[in-house]
Amino acid sequence: MVNFIADTKQLTAVEDYVNNRLEYAPLAIAHFTTRDDAEAWLKGLAEPLSPARILIGDEYYLAWYSREDNARGMYRDYIIEPYIEELAARGIPPATPAFETRAEAGMWLKNHPAAPFDFVSIAGEHYLAVHHKRLMRHTLHPVASTLTEWEETKRAAERERARDAAAETEGGGE
């Protein structure tokens, strides 16, 4: 991959992305309202891109495809959570646009696109609005519940790593 980036003279673009990650929303190639819609799309492609990040509702998923056995599927991708964590740690601006409903926020965002991220308040709860320029849409991520779920996900991953390390240590001593 690094050779491809270098051969196509994209090193500066990659360096810009790495150094300024919070200025770019994670790229998704498609959006679906339901998981059934996404699965129908994935099954309908002769050879899907793999892996490919997609959106189902406001959540990121990673779609995958195995050419060897023509298997394909998708799973929840926790790509936006570190962004929310870092942006919230920097501080949610005290004067965020406030709305009573999600629909009101969505209408406002159509005329005031996030660049690529903005905080908004809906019914008193803070959300991170993410502008997906190529998909011409916004996703809204509730800050408090997303951060709680993200912490739980990280703890579960750490427990699994510890369990695997313990199993490896036990297996290596035999």
pLDDT, position 72: 92
Question: What residues form DSSP beta bridges with 119?
Answer: 128
H/E element holding 48? none
pLDDT value at position 61? 97
Q: What is the pLDDT of the chain when averaged over all its residues? A: 88
Q: Which residue, chain included where needed, has tokens 């005329």? A: 111
Predicted pLDDT at 99: 97
Cβ neighbours around 112 below 10 Å, total: 13
Secondary structure (3-state) at 34: coil
Identify which has the larger pLDDT, 11 or 134. Answer: 134
> What's the token pair of residue 3?
């050779």
Give the residue extent of every domain in the chain. 79-174
pLDDT digits (tens, 9 = 90+) for 21-77: 667 788 899 999 999 999 999 999 888 788 889 999 999 999 999 989 989 999 999
Q: Above 80 in pLDDT, residue 3?
A: no
pLDDT of residue 18: 67
Distance CA 96, CA 40 (A): 38
pTM: 0.77
The one-letter amino acid at 167? A
DSSP 3-state helix, strand, coil percentages of the chain (rounded to 5)?
Answer: 45, 25, 30
**pLDDT for the residue numbered 168:** 85
Cα 159 from Cα 26, distance rounded (Å): 27
